Chains A and B, each alone.
Chain A
Amino acid sequence: MDGFFLFLNGLIWGLIIALIALGLTLIFGVMGIVNMAHGDFYMIGAVISYYIVSYLNNFWLSLIIVPLLAILLAAPLERFVLRPYEGFPSSSMIATVGISFIIQQLALAVYGGIPKKIVNPFPLDISMFGIYYPGYRMLVALISIVTLLFLWLFLYKTSFGILIRASMQDREMANAMGINVNRVLISTFAIGVVLATIGGVLAAPITQVFYLMGNDIVLLSFIVVVIGGLGSLKGTFITALALCAIEGVMASFLSPTQARVLTFLLMIVILMFKPSGIFKD
């Protein structure tokens, strides 16, 4: 039973990681940018949500306000800072590390260096197969699934989604076909940032809100993206769930720290045999 509980817990973290990693892979796939600041957008989501809870006393408002603020932040960042680096992954890493430092130091200056906690906004336990599970975590799973469903509908069922996927497959050809690539670029970056900030908002009540909280998450997200196959949406989603669930199960008989070590070992083994990731065509 403990194993199942931890498997479930892993799966929920997997959904949060999927939100973040999908943004990362979208940004890489469409823009050719390795976004080292992605974890910091996750942090921004959590920090803004902390302020919303403190001042407006309503956690759920964060799920509306934070994505809007994320768009306002992402659009100028893409247009004025990142555009010259698009298509140059190595130099984009340097640029985004710079952005990451700026965001972290701004958060340190404004929010402070003390980790803070958001009170559980949904303090209800849910019984499932005879075990109690914190209701908020189940809600996180639900919200993540709905968000991911919307993302899927957007990318696969709308014409703009098709433009994004076309640009992911071949940017030059997409441009030659008359697709307004600039519009695609700015929207993709905004979608990626919005996903990361939603991840931050959802994770805030089950973790600690801290200006360096993005560092761990961005590492795990990169592992997911690399194992899943750089730029593969399906691969990223499946890997995020699988990796976190496996880590959860391993945590039932190992310490969580040892489980994380095994995850890294797993990554090394997979990359030895499949250097471009499992789902890369």
Chain B
Amino acid sequence: MKKSFVIVFFVMFLLTTFFIASVNTAEGQTAKKEPIRIGLIAEKTGGLAAYGYSHEKVIVAAINKVNKEGGISGRPIELFVEDTESKPSVGALKFRKLVETDKVDFVFNSNSSGIAIACAPIAKELKVPYFPCSSAAELAGEKGNRYVFQFATNVAQECKGAAEFAIKHIGKKWVTVVVDYAWGWSNEKEFTKYITEKGGKVLKSIRVPLGTGDWIPYLKGNIPKEAEAVYFANFGSDFLSFIRDLYVVRPDIKKLGAVYAISAQDPKKLGKEAEGLYCLTSYPTRLAGLNTQYNKTFRNLIGIDPEGKESGTGKYFIPAYNWTIWEAFFALKSAIEKSGWTSKADTPKLIQILEKMSFKESVEHPQGDKYIRAEDHISITGLYVEKIENGEIKVVAKIPAKDTIYTPMANRINESF
């Protein structure tokens, strides 16, 4: 009897100790600051997988930097990543999952325009600020809303900025060749609009499905003889197939690529098909194109060398829009600090602060000075034209921010939250 009493007492003592200990730990946890939850929808598989990989790497670097420096308003950042499989339907689902299941406060990325456009209305519905890396001009127009901030220069800015250079240095009679989805259509529409304004002409517009291996059926017989140049919007392996097959069809034609085309390509391996090709970009591929201390530090932090290769793997990285995810994150950091944001209830105030923000060139904003245009939530900044010469990528022109400004297609200031 006595023995069993001792055992029961001992067990109860253990249970009580365990209970007290667990209560203490729970209290200890609440005493710690709640993390700010950030979601990333990234193209980890599918046609845009290389871009998803680089964007995840960049946001991880940005978060590590901020967490090391004490977080935002003393709160650590917790990252949740979802794979969009490069498909708009999956991207939209994952966006919801991040907000509804993982309870994130802000969502970043998707450089696929189709995915960003699919997610924009969900951002408004769920009242979550969304920072896509897409450059579809529609996001700054009817497809966007007050919760969406587009840090990447959009296609309208890019085409407006490029039109004069294209007419002066490349040619007047053009053919557009674009991948057949939102970003490509946007490029086709805006390039035609601004090249016509400057006195040029688009003779033919060709659309090719994403992931097409054989471009010959699309190009052969479709490029008029009098065409002097092709404006193309494709990237990755589509770009490689395109220049290979364009060379078969019209080896003499001049080429200007939309932002992204030569990202992550080794120009030495591109050969004669790509020699003399021009390409737009909002961020120079090589450090030499924007040789500042801020840019050097940024490239070191995200782990790419002056040539644009990833440290460790030696593979060509995709720097084109990496700056947009980095800069959007630091813009959000400043906005949280300025607005005193603590929870979702403060989000409208945070958005109003963001709408008035401008940024000076710094490690946090290595691409250069810029400001957010309140009406359509785009960032106004400069552009570059790069050219492949003797197997090297060189910056041949800088387009100032003022040349890229077009009349806003929307006015978000009076839009309700």
Contacts and interface: CB of A to CB of B under 8 A. Distances in A.
A98 interface: no
Contact of B213 (A10, A125, A208, A252): A208
Given A113-B49, A208-B213, A257-B209, A2 B237 contact: no
B84 to A, nearest CB: 11
Contacts of A9: 214, 216-217, 220
Given A113-B49, A114-B49, A114-B236, A207 B213 contact: yes
12 contacts: A2-B221, A5-B220, A6-B220, A6-B221, A9-B214, A116-B237, A117-B240, A120-B244, A125-B248, A208-B213, A248-B217, A252-B221
Interface stretch (B11-19, B39-47, B141-149, B362-370): B39-47
Q: Which has the most chain A C-beta neighbours within 10 Å: B44, B216, B241?
A: B216
Contacts of B391: none
A113 B46 contact: yes
A2 B248 CA distance: 12
Contacts of A2: 220-221
A46 B213 CA distance: 13
Contacts of A5: 216, 220-221
A144 to B, nearest CB: 15
Contacts of B294: none
A251 interface: yes
Interface string A179-208: 000000000000000000000000100111
A119 B269 contact: yes
B72 interface: no
B213 A112 contact: no
B50 interface: yes
Nearest to B240: A117
Contacts of B47: 115, 210
A256 interface: yes
Given A108-B45, A213-B213, 7 more contacts: A2-B220, A5-B220, A113-B44, A113-B45, A114-B53, A206-B214, A210-B237
Contact of A134 (B44, B180, B236, B248): B248
A152 interface: no
B218 interface: yes
Contacts of A206: 213-214
Contacts of A255: 207, 218
B311 to A, nearest CB: 19
Interface string B238-265: 1011001000100000000000000000
Interface in A245-262: 248, 251-252, 255-257, 259
Contacts of B180: 257
A13 interface: yes
A114 B217 contact: no
Given A125-B248, A210-B211, A257-B209, A117 B237 contact: yes
